[in-house]
């Protein structure tokens, strides 16, 4: 009987009546990415693409929200488990991973963006995930009740006066603090201060192409007067933050406090729009600039395409082709546009996408972009690990006792001196 069954199966296979997976055609594209806020939307998009694309499976793994993505990616490389697609953030990430990147200059999406990452050899190696931006987010309804006009908050003194006024009305306004901010290393929030907030020192108030402060930092030098102003701003934020969230909180705690109307300001970017939607936020929101000085008015936001998908050079030829096709589909189709804008709540970096984001922070970013006068993201050009291992611990320590801004300036000055040797 067994012989008869075996013979029957052999005949069916020979006649092509039973489909057999072709190992040469079937391919799995793995993406290891760090934006936790888009994980559910990206998973759904990848699943739909997999279903619609015979022979191709796209799998998404996400690690972010303060977790050490860089260390995890290095571990994958060492273990021989490198993903097909991975994230880098800025020049520091490029310098670390450039020997593991594949040229994507031939992809269809390249001609549709001004934000591709161009390597030292002139080849396109990075697909821009989105245009992102940040300032100091605010709850418009709370500011209106407090009699504070956000349009007037363009200098350090103006922001300080607004903080003081709102702080005096906390009970009336139902607030726990004026600003929601976190710096805890244990909570994985080093990037809020060591990267994003520190960008005020690196780029705030400067022309978009002005890298002079960054250039000094890379030489181990500081602009002492500018740094002093910046440290006073950090002290202001820390003084008016919820101390428990500041010193112990994680991403969810920081964002939730703002979403629940327990704080007037939020130190995050437009990537929180999906979180605001999930948390059922209905109040009006917007941004003020990070105003760390009185020497000039601040009118712009920090805007850039700060994160890119890169293609692993060690992946098979079939995996690389499938990954390129997937990225082309994301950037150039109506389905991809719907995913980026409507599902993930992002601001696409591609010219052909006409959809506009519905998230309030992203909409504010689009408005600021049209207005102009915005500032660059410079922290991504610091050596790998600077924000996490050099600057982040200093801010975490300062948060324990933010009484003396000059001490913060001293600590940062000494730390910056070490950067050329990293």
pLDDT tens digits for range 346-399:
999 999 998 989 899 999 998 998 899 999 999 989 998 999 999 999 999 999
- Shared-domain flag, residues 234 and 205: yes
Asked if 300 and 313 sit in the same domain, the reply is no
pLDDT band at residue 25 using 50, 70 and 90 as cut-offs: low
Asked if residue 2 has pLDDT above 60, the reply is no
**pLDDT confidence band for 9 (50 / 70 / 90):** very low
The verdict on 338 and 250 lying in the same domain is: no
Residue 248 pLDDT class (50, 70, 90 cuts): very high
Q: Residue 260: inside a domain, yes or no? A: yes
Tell whether the model's pLDDT for residue 15 goes beyond 70: no
Domain that holds residue 73: 18-128+306-348
Candidates 351, 355, 356, 357; CA nearest to 109 is 351
Q: In terms of domains, do 153 and 285 share one?
A: yes
Residue 279 shares a structural domain with residue 394: yes
Judge contact between 156 and 167, C-beta under 8 A.
no
**What percent of the chain has a predicted confidence (pLDDT) above 90?**
86
Among residues 316, 348, 380, the one where a domain terminates is 348
The DSSP result for 104-167, as a single string, is -TTSGGGGGBS-PEE-TTS-EEEEE--BEEE-EEEEHHHHHHHT--GGG--SHHHHHHHHHHHH
Query: The domain that contains 270 carries what CATH number?
Result: 3.40.190.10
Q: Which are the contacts of 399, defined by CB distance < 8 A and separation ≥ 6?
A: 183, 184, 238, 246, 247
> What Cα–Cα distance (Å) separates residue 404 from each residue in 179, 225, 249, 337?
19, 16, 22, 48
* Mean predicted confidence (pLDDT) in 45-58: 97
pLDDT of residue 37: 87
* Structural domain includes residue 364: no
Burial class (CB in 10 A: 0-12, 13-18, 19+), 123: middle
Bridge partners of residue 126, in order along the sequence: 117
pLDDT at residue 249, rounded to an integer: 95
Whether 4 is covered by a domain: the verdict is no
pLDDT of residue 419: 95
In the predicted structure, residue 6 carries a pLDDT above the cut 90: no
Q: What is the pLDDT of residue 370?
A: 84
For the residues of 194-213, what is the DSSP string, one character each?
A: IIIITHHHHHTTS-TT--HH
pLDDT confidence of residue 18: 32
Domain boundary among 348, 382, 400: 348
CB burial class (10 A; 0-12, 13-18, 19+) of residue 33?
buried
User: What pLDDT does 400 receive?
Assistant: 96
Quick check: is 121 in a domain? yes
Is the same domain home to 202 and 65? no
Does 278 lie in the same domain as 165? yes
- Out of 314, 348, 382, a domain closes at 348
115 & 160 share domain: no
Residue 231: strand, helix, or coil:
helix
State the pTM of this model: 0.81
Domain assignment present for residue 50? The answer is: yes
Averaged pLDDT, 170-181: 98
Residues 72 and 168 occupy one common structural domain = no
Among 13-22, 84-93, 183-192, 269-278, where is mean pLDDT lowest? Answer: 13-22
Question: Is residue 9 assigned to a domain?
Answer: no
Asked if 199 and 132 touch (Cβ cutoff 8 Å), the reply is no
pLDDT reading at 202 higher than 60 = yes
402: in domain: yes
34 in any annotated domain:
yes
249/258 Cα distance (integer angstroms): 13
Q: Are 335 and 387 in a shared domain?
A: no
| Same domain? 240 vs 332 | no
pLDDT band at residue 91, thresholds of 50, 70 and 90?
A: confident
Whether the per-residue pLDDT at 262 is higher than 80: the answer is yes
CA distance 222 to 414: 10
The alpha carbon dihedral of 385, 387, 393, 394 has a sign of: positive
For residue 221, name the pLDDT band (cuts at 50, 70, 90): very high
What's the confidence (pLDDT) of residue 14? 40
Q: What total number of domains does the chain contain?
A: 2
CB-based contacts of 337, cutoff 8 Å, min separation 6: 348, 353, 354, 355
**19-28, 113-122, 212-221: least confident range:** 19-28
| pLDDT score of 8 | 41
Same domain, 285 and 141: yes
Q: What's the pLDDT at 90? A: 84
């Amino acid at each position: 009987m067994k012989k008869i069954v075996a013979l029957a199966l052999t005949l069916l296979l020979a006649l092509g009546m039973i489909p057999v997976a072709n190992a040469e055609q079937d391919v799995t594209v793995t993406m290891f990415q760090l934006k936790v806020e888009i994980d559910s939307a990206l998973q759904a998009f990848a699943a739909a693409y997999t279903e619609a694309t015979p022979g191709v499976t796209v799998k998404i793994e996400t690690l972010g929200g303060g977790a050490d993505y860089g260390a995890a990616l290095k571990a994958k490389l060492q273990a021989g488990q490198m993903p097909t697609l991975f994230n880098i953030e800025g020049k520091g990430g490029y310098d670390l991973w450039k020997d593991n990147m594949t040229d994507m200059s031939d992809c269809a999406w390249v001609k549709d963006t001004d934000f591709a990452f161009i390597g030292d050899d002139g080849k396109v190696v990075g697909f821009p995930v989105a245009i992102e931006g940040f300032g100091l987010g605010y709850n418009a309804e709370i500011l209106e009740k407090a009699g504070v006009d956000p349009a007037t908050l363009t200098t350090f003194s103006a922001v300080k006066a607004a903080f003081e006024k709102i702080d005096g009305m906390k009970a009336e306004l139902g607030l726990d603090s004026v600003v929601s901010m976190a710096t805890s290393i244990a909570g994985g929030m080093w990037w809020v201060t060591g990267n994003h907030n520190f960008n005020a020192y690196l780029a705030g108030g400067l022309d978009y192409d002005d890298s002079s402060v960054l250039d000094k930092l890379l030489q181990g030098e500081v602009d002492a007067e500018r740094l002093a102003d910046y440290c006073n701003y950090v002290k202001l934020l820390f003084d008016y933050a919820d101390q428990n969230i500041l010193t112990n909180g994680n991403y969810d705690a920081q964002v939730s406090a703002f979403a629940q109307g327990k704080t007037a300001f939020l130190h995050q970017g437009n990537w929180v729009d999906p979180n605001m939607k999930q948390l059922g936020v209905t109040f009006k929101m917007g941004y003020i600039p990070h105003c760390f000085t009185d020497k000039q008015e601040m009118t712009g936001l920090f805007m850039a395409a700060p994160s890119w998908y890169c293609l692993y050079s060690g992946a098979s030829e079939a995996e690389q082709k499938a990954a390129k096709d997937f990225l082309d589909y994301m950037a150039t189709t109506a389905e991809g546009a719907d995913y980026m804008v409507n599902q993930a709540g992002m601001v696409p970096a591609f010219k052909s996408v006409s959809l506009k984001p519905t998230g309030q922070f992203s909409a504010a970013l689009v408005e600021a972009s049209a207005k102009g006068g915005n500032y660059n993201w410079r922290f991504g050009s610091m050596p790998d690990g600077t924000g996490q291992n050099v600057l982040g611990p200093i801010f975490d320590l300062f948060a324990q006792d933010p009484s003396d801004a000059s001490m913060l300036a001293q600590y940062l000055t000494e730390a910056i001196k070490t950067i050329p040797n990293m």
